[in-house]
Amino acid sequence: MDVSDILAAHEAKQKAVLVEKDIPLEVDSGFLTVTDLNTIDAESYEADLEEHLISTARDGVQTLIASLFSLPTTSSPDGPLAQLPPPTTQLPRAKPLPKPKPPTKWEQFAKAKGIQNKRRDKKVWDEEKQEWVNRWGWKGANKDKEVQWLTEVPANADVDYDPAKAARDERKARVVKNEKQHRANLARAEASSSSSDRKRDIDRTLAVTRTSTASLGKFDRKLEGEKPLKGVKRKFEPTEISASQEKSQNLAILSKLGKGPMTKKSEKSSQSSGGEVLNVRKAIRTVSKGKGSAALARGGSTKGKKGKR
């Protein structure tokens, strides 16, 4: 059997829909976008601009359509829908990413106890009326006790006991309680989100303002019960330490010296890893007289100032 004809016919069909370029086109199906990174051919651009634009656009769109038609589809009433992959290009958002809502007190409790969230329908079935009625609200089922024409009264009830009023008071009390809980949840959410940062910020601002007068706060009028400002407590290492400890401290300084100037990040990581060694940054500053580790590594030049110490 000779299949060359069939193959040739297939090839011809493919030719019409295939696009060949030096650099393959970049397709972002998520945003329905294709980018053609080939250089613009100046000759065809000069010759006929519109023709050039439409032909490059056609090639790009052909590639994009080919990739869109190869996506998996799902059926819908209007016809097949192509499932798009998430976009690869990152576009900036218009609004910041929403923060997850902090759980309410009930949600915390339910989670701790493993209680599944059950959705309560807004409507309940009324056996007597044989229809669906609202659980609350207009003609709500929670008002049944208040509107029924006959109510059982307990034997020990007061003379002026009004069962409808009692039921209504009870319902209103539930509403008030719920509102109170709702408010408490909101307050808790507010507090958990930013309070600690805010308190620290306020304290710091206050401390700065108190020392920001000409006398550094010395002659300011004190309020009653105002506590004196706490400064930074300074800690000193003991002057006499064991030889091994001293050795390890000095070695720690030496090991830091070759590394060049410290960045914020490395500083943070070194503090978290070996916090107990000593304040290396400060030690370097003292030894190099504030010139940094680079100056110390160069050495020699500090000779002249030695006597000043």
Partner 1 sequence: MLRIVKPKNARSKRALQAREAKEVEDPRVAIFVRGTHAGEKVTAVMKELMALKRPNAVSFSKKNLVRPFEDASSLEFWAKKNDAGMFVVGQTTKKRPDGLTFVRMFDYRVLDMCEVGVEGWKSMADFKTPKATPGHKPLLHFASELFDTHPRFIQLKSILMDFFNGEVIDAIHLAGLEHVISVSLGPTPASLNATTSTLQASSSTAAPAEDLASLPAVHIRSYTIRLLASGARVPRVELTPMGPSLDLRLRRHTTADPEMMKQALRRPKLRKQEVEKGLGKKRKNMEVDEMGDLRGRIHVGKQDLGKLQTRKMKGLKPGRDEEMADEDEEDGDAFGAEGDEEEDGGRRKKRRTA
Burial of 136 (0-12, 13-18, 19+ CB in 10 A): middle
Nearer to partner 1, 13 or 247 (CB): 13
Q: Which residues, including other chains, have CB under 8 Å from residue 277's CB and lie 6 or more apart?
A: 248, 249, 252
Token pair of 69, please?
Answer: 């038609």
203 and 210 Cβ atoms separated by less than 8 Å:
no
Nearer to partner 1, 90 or 156 (CB): 90
CB of 132 vs partner 1, minimal distance in Å: 22
CB of 260 vs partner 1, minimal distance in Å: 25
CB of 112 vs partner 1, minimal distance in Å: 18
CB of 89 vs partner 1, minimal distance in Å: 7
Nearer to partner 1, 49 or 191 (CB): 49
How many other C-beta atoms are found inside a 10 Å radius of the C-beta of residue 27?
Answer: 19
CB of 9 vs partner 1, minimal distance in Å: 8
Nearer to partner 1, 4 or 76 (CB): 76
| Rounded Cα distance, 143 and 167, in Å | 8
Nearer to partner 1, 16 or 155 (CB): 16
CB of 226 vs partner 1, minimal distance in Å: 33
- Summarize as ranges the residues that interact with partner 1 (CB under 8 A): 13-14, 16-17, 23, 30-42, 45, 49-50, 53-54, 56-58, 60-62, 64-66, 68-70, 72-74, 76, 78-84, 86-87, 89-98
- The radius of gyration of the chain's CA atoms, rounded to the nearest angstrom, is 39
Nearer to partner 1, 69 or 109 (CB): 69
Q: Which residues, including other chains, have CB under 8 Å from residue 100's CB and lie 6 or more apart?
A: none
Nearer to partner 1, 45 or 161 (CB): 45
CB of 54 vs partner 1, minimal distance in Å: 6
Nearer to partner 1, 95 or 218 (CB): 95
Token pair of 285, please?
Answer: 């500053």
Nearer to partner 1, 11 or 267 (CB): 11
In this structure, are strands 131-134 and 123-126 parallel, antiparallel, or unpaired?
antiparallel
CB of 264 vs partner 1, minimal distance in Å: 15
| Rounded Cα distance, 253 and 274, in Å | 12
**Residue that has been written with the tokens 């010759």 in this structure:** 47
Q: Which residues, including other chains, have CB under 8 Å from residue 34's CB and lie 6 or more apart?
A: 25, 26, 27, 28, 60, 61, 63, 64
CA dihedral 112, 115, 121, 127 (to 10 degrees): -130
Looking at residue 128, the DSSP 8-state letter turns out to be T
CB of 63 vs partner 1, minimal distance in Å: 9
| Rounded Cα distance, 11 and 14, in Å | 5
